[in-house]
Amino acid sequence: MRIYDNHSHTREYSLDGKQTFDELIADAEAAGLAGFMITEHYDKDLIDGIPHPRVSDYGAPAAPGEWIFPFGPVLERTQAAREQLRARGSELEILHGIEIGWLPYQNPGLWDWMAENGKDFDGIIAAVHCVDGRDIYYDRRSYEEGRKAAYGRYLDHAIDLLRADLDFDILGHFDYVERYAGFENPRMRYEEQAERLDELFRLLIAQGKSIEFNTRTRYRTLASSGIDIGAPDGAILRRYLELGGERVSLSSDCHEDHNVGRYFSDMIEWFRANGLRYLTHFKGRQAVFNSIE
């Protein structure tokens, strides 16, 4: 089996990153991964969880505290690491990606700019971090009306992101709203958001985009509370497949060492048990499929 981790950060170019790129590479090799995609944060305009529209021009250096990275140096770092791996006979593949934090007012400006300036990426993740203009990591207001409203509102944003029909490959952590919910059992169940999940899946499928299953909420919750919340609700994946979904990407969203590939063997068992036959990663913006049977 050739398994890829599609989502990772370092302290060198992500403000919340803790690991170095070298640590990430060493861990990925030790974990036996075929490869990983480096996806530093690109939350244009976001400072301390609050959007500051056009706080810096596209392509200009980051404003103080802005969650973006310079494309050139990060690409050079990826290329240098690939050369070093080749020189010592390692077959680990490093894919060059990006995680774009979506904000609705940036359509289509940021994406038009990306079409010109983002051509070197193997894969583009788009992710919702802000609900109603507030980063849910920093601001808990979106949870005040309870689970149903909070989860629904988050999924509404993900649906709006898909409806904008932007040029990206993977919808990052569709269930991110679980991560900071603080509920005893934060796992979203299919039946509690069936309508929205169906709409989200139909849009993903029509646009040929991949859905990401992200293990970070699970290991973060374990670290903070000692509770293992387990795998997601299998009904979510089964419904995606039933509607014709084929593209599923597995990610750790690691920010610190020893988390790349975390819970992957468990997730692969879960994927198989729910009927998934292959995983998807992106190279040169093209989907690549690897059997997990």
Alpha helices by DSSP H, listed for the chain, are 21-30, 71-87, 109-117, 147-163, 194-207, 216-225, 234-242, 264-273
Amino acid at 131: V
To Zn ion, the closest distance from the beta carbon of 87 in angstroms equals 29
Tokens of 118: 């983002």
Cβ-based nearer residue to Zn ion, 77 or 129: 129
Q: Of the ranges 98-106, 130-138, 234-242, 243-251, which one interacts with Zn ion (CB under 5 A)?
A: 98-106
Q: Measured between alpha carbons, how far is residue 269 from residues 210, 219, 234, 277, 290 in Å?
A: 19, 17, 11, 11, 15
Cβ-based nearer residue to Zn ion, 100 or 239: 100
To Zn ion, the closest distance from the beta carbon of 35 in angstroms equals 17
To Zn ion, the closest distance from the beta carbon of 33 in angstroms equals 17
Helix (H, G, I), strand (E, B) or coil at 146: coil
Q: Measured between alpha carbons, how far is residue 253 from residues 206, 224, 249, 258, 259 in Å?
A: 26, 17, 12, 12, 8
Closest of 121, 196, 184, 124 to residue 157, by C-alpha: 196
Report d(CA 81, CA 83) in Å as an integer. 5
Q: Of the ranges 27-35, 42-50, 232-240, 252-260, which one interacts with Zn ion (CB under 5 A)?
A: 252-260
- Residues 129-168: x/- map of binding to Zn ion (CB under 5 A)? ----------------------------------------
Cβ-based nearer residue to Zn ion, 215 or 274: 215
Q: Of the ranges 52-60, 69-77, 124-132, 156-164, which one interacts with Zn ion (CB under 5 A)?
A: 124-132
Nearest 5°: the CA angle 100, 101, 107 is: 85
Report d(CA 97, CA 126) in Å as an integer. 11
Determine the size of the site formed for Zn ion (CB under 5 A).
3
Cβ-based nearer residue to Zn ion, 45 or 99: 99
Which of 95, 174, 253, 280 is close enough to bind Zn ion by CB under 5 A? 253
Q: Does residue 127 bind Zn ion (CB under 5 A)?
A: yes
Q: Of the ranges 63-71, 83-91, 248-256, 264-272, which one interacts with Zn ion (CB under 5 A)?
A: 248-256
* Residue 37 contacts residue 97 (beta carbons within 8 Å): yes
Cβ-based nearer residue to Zn ion, 98 or 239: 98
To Zn ion, the closest distance from the beta carbon of 137 in angstroms equals 9
Cβ-based nearer residue to Zn ion, 239 or 255: 255
Report d(CA 101, CA 280) in Å as an integer. 21
To Zn ion, the closest distance from the beta carbon of 125 in angstroms equals 7
Q: Which residues bind Zn ion (CB under 5 A)?
A: 99, 127, 253
